[in-house]
Amino acid sequence: DAKTTQPTSMDCAEGRAANLPCNHSTISGNEYVYWYRQIHSQGPQYIIHGLKNNETNEMASLIITEDRKSSTLILPHATLRDTAVYYCIAGGVYGGATNKLIFGTGTLLAVQP
Protein backbone atom coordinates (compact mmCIF):
# COMPACT_ATOMS: atom_id res chain seq x y z
CA ASP A 1 0.00 0.00 0.00
CA ALA A 2 1.18 3.52 -0.78
CA LYS A 3 2.47 5.72 2.02
CA THR A 4 0.69 9.01 2.61
CA THR A 5 1.96 12.28 4.05
CA GLN A 6 -0.29 14.70 5.93
CA PRO A 7 0.34 17.79 8.05
CA THR A 8 0.37 17.02 11.75
CA SER A 9 -2.24 19.62 12.65
CA MET A 10 -4.44 22.34 11.21
CA ASP A 11 -6.81 24.97 12.53
CA CYS A 12 -10.05 26.13 10.95
CA ALA A 13 -12.62 28.72 11.97
CA GLU A 14 -16.12 27.47 12.60
CA GLY A 15 -18.33 27.93 9.55
CA ARG A 16 -15.41 28.14 7.14
CA ALA A 17 -14.28 25.44 4.74
CA ALA A 18 -11.58 23.09 6.00
CA ASN A 19 -9.15 21.90 3.33
CA LEU A 20 -7.02 18.94 4.41
CA PRO A 21 -4.16 18.01 2.05
CA CYS A 22 -2.59 14.61 1.53
CA ASN A 23 0.37 13.48 -0.57
CA HIS A 24 0.46 9.95 -1.95
CA SER A 25 3.11 10.17 -4.67
CA THR A 26 3.73 6.39 -4.77
CA ILE A 27 0.10 5.40 -5.19
CA SER A 28 -0.41 2.66 -7.75
CA GLY A 29 -3.04 2.59 -10.45
CA ASN A 30 -5.46 0.29 -8.65
CA GLU A 31 -5.22 1.91 -5.22
CA TYR A 32 -8.03 4.06 -3.91
CA VAL A 33 -7.75 7.13 -1.70
CA TYR A 34 -9.80 6.84 1.49
CA TRP A 35 -10.49 9.37 4.21
CA TYR A 36 -11.50 8.46 7.74
CA ARG A 37 -11.73 10.51 10.89
CA GLN A 38 -11.45 9.66 14.58
CA ILE A 39 -13.15 11.78 17.19
CA HIS A 40 -11.46 11.58 20.59
CA SER A 41 -10.66 7.87 21.00
CA GLN A 42 -13.84 6.65 19.33
CA GLY A 43 -13.62 4.14 16.50
CA PRO A 44 -12.69 5.72 13.15
CA GLN A 45 -15.52 6.85 10.91
CA TYR A 46 -15.49 6.54 7.13
CA ILE A 47 -15.84 9.83 5.26
CA ILE A 48 -15.27 9.30 1.55
CA HIS A 49 -13.17 7.47 -1.03
CA GLY A 50 -12.15 7.93 -4.66
CA LEU A 51 -10.03 6.48 -7.43
CA LYS A 52 -9.55 9.13 -10.14
CA ASN A 53 -12.55 11.42 -10.19
CA ASN A 54 -13.54 14.00 -7.64
CA GLU A 55 -16.20 12.76 -5.26
CA THR A 56 -18.80 14.42 -3.05
CA ASN A 57 -21.15 13.10 -0.41
CA GLU A 58 -23.15 14.55 2.45
CA MET A 59 -20.07 14.86 4.64
CA ALA A 60 -17.31 16.12 2.38
CA SER A 61 -15.72 16.50 -1.05
CA LEU A 62 -12.60 14.75 -2.26
CA ILE A 63 -10.42 16.38 -4.89
CA ILE A 64 -7.79 14.13 -6.49
CA THR A 65 -5.14 15.64 -8.75
CA GLU A 66 -4.92 14.40 -12.30
CA ASP A 67 -1.64 12.58 -11.66
CA ARG A 68 -3.21 11.08 -8.47
CA LYS A 69 -0.16 12.01 -6.42
CA SER A 70 -2.11 14.16 -4.00
CA SER A 71 -5.63 14.86 -2.83
CA THR A 72 -7.59 17.30 -0.68
CA LEU A 73 -10.49 16.60 1.62
CA ILE A 74 -12.89 19.52 1.90
CA LEU A 75 -15.34 19.99 4.74
CA PRO A 76 -17.48 22.82 3.33
CA HIS A 77 -18.74 24.35 6.59
CA ALA A 78 -16.70 23.12 9.54
CA THR A 79 -18.38 22.86 12.94
CA LEU A 80 -16.92 22.26 16.38
CA ARG A 81 -18.03 18.62 16.08
CA ASP A 82 -15.65 18.21 13.14
CA THR A 83 -12.66 18.52 15.48
CA ALA A 84 -10.94 15.15 15.02
CA VAL A 85 -7.92 13.36 13.60
CA TYR A 86 -8.34 12.89 9.85
CA TYR A 87 -6.61 9.98 8.17
CA CYS A 88 -5.78 9.85 4.47
CA ILE A 89 -5.14 6.28 3.30
CA ALA A 90 -4.10 4.92 -0.08
CA GLY A 91 -5.23 1.32 -0.16
CA GLY A 92 -5.96 -1.60 -2.34
CA VAL A 93 -9.04 -3.55 -3.23
CA TYR A 94 -9.48 -7.31 -2.95
CA GLY A 95 -12.41 -9.13 -4.44
CA GLY A 96 -14.08 -5.86 -5.34
CA ALA A 97 -14.02 -4.50 -1.80
CA THR A 98 -11.71 -2.57 0.47
CA ASN A 99 -9.03 -4.76 1.91
CA LYS A 100 -6.24 -3.76 4.24
CA LEU A 101 -6.06 -0.13 5.30
CA ILE A 102 -2.74 1.27 6.50
CA PHE A 103 -3.39 4.19 8.85
CA GLY A 104 -0.72 6.84 9.39
CA THR A 105 -0.81 9.40 12.19
CA GLY A 106 -3.26 11.70 10.39
CA THR A 107 -4.00 15.43 10.71
CA LEU A 108 -5.50 16.81 13.90
CA LEU A 109 -8.08 19.35 12.74
CA ALA A 110 -9.06 21.82 15.44
CA VAL A 111 -12.15 23.84 14.62
CA GLN A 112 -12.09 27.13 16.52
CA PRO A 113 -15.25 29.01 17.60
Binding site for other proteins (CB under 8 A): 32, 34, 36, 41-46, 49, 87, 93-106
28 versus 99: smaller Cβ distance to other proteins: 99
Nearest approach in angstroms of CB 102 to other proteins is 7
Strands (E), 2-105: 9-13, 18-23, 32-38, 45-50, 55-56, 61-64, 70-75, 84-91, 93-94, 97-98
Beta bridge partner(s), residue 41: none
Nearest approach in angstroms of CB 54 to other proteins is 16
42 versus 53: smaller Cβ distance to other proteins: 42
**Main-chain dihedrals φ then ψ at residue 58, nearest 5 degrees:** -70, -15
Nearest approach in angstroms of CB 65 to other proteins is 20
Beta bridge partner(s), residue 86: 37, 107
Positive or negative: CA dihedral 24, 88, 80, 111: negative
81 versus 113: smaller Cβ distance to other proteins: 81
Nearest approach in angstroms of CB 112 to other proteins is 22
59 versus 63: smaller Cβ distance to other proteins: 59
